[in-house]
Structure 1
Amino acid sequence: MSKLIPTVCGMYCDECDHYEKDCQGCDESEGAIFWNEFVDIECCPVYDCCVNIKHLVHCGQCDEMPCERYFRFRDPGVTDEEAKQVLEKQKTCLARRVQEDTEL
């Protein structure tokens, strides 16, 4: 069963095929995740903006969500429709987390 380890962008680390194999997760690696080497960056730009620059817990707390960072580094193997579905899933997750934040 999934532990549901949320990322700042609205995904879940434990739903990723690379989790625990190639990547320890966004928070654990502080944004230095497995795919960074393929695009020649040190830190995921979404993680960097959210955590390091804006000091937010997740992107749902940001008024700019979704921002251009969500679209800059897209998997080339993903169709436009698949990318749209992923973004909708992220937005739903982040909206749920914002609701949970307000209930605390």
Structure 2
Amino acid sequence: MAKKKIQTVCGYSCSDCDHHGKECRGCPETKGIPFWTAFIGIDHCAIYDCCNNDRKFPHCGKCPDLMCNRFDRIRDTPGITEAEANATLAAMENELRSRK
């Protein structure tokens, strides 16, 4: 049976993440403080904070500034190539635009 898709504010599915259920319960559960924040020295995810806490949107697909510079942190992921980052960002954007 396929995993249930866990929708996040940014368009990435926690259920697609290798860390979900191990090091992380997922963004909806952690309220924007997923496991990776500790590894990059931040308190919370800026995308989650902006979307849920500041703008009060259910997800970034509702935002007129969709794919703002907060998404650039994807490019800083260790071990990810520019092509992989672009593919990830494109998939996230497609997911969010489909939810509008």
Taking structure 1 as the reference length, what is the TM-score of the superposition?
0.90
Matched residue, 2:64: 63
Q: Deviations over 1:11-35 (max 9, x none)?
A: 1011100001000010110011010
Taking structure 2 as the reference length, what is the TM-score of the superposition?
0.93
Correspondence 1:96 to 2:87: no
Give, in whole Å, the separation in 1 of the partners of 2:53 and 2:44.
10
Q: Deviations over 1:45-103 (max 9, x none)?
A: 110110011110000001111011100353021111110000110011011111xxxxx
Write the mapping of 1:12-91 to structure 2, written as runs, cut at 5 A. Answer: 12-72=13-73, 74-91=76-93
Give, in whole Å, the separation in 2 of the partners of 1:61 and 1:77.
31
Moved over 2 A (4+): none
Alignment RMSD:
1.0
Identical counterparts, % of pairs: 42
Look up the SS of the partner of 2:77 in the other structure.
coil
Unaligned runs of 5+ in 1: 99-104
Unaligned runs of 5+ in 2: none
Q: How many residues align?
A: 98
Give, in whole Å, the separation in 2 of the partners of 1:77 and 1:65.
25
* 1:66 partner letter: M
Give, in whole Å, the separation in 2 of the partners of 1:52 and 1:42.
14
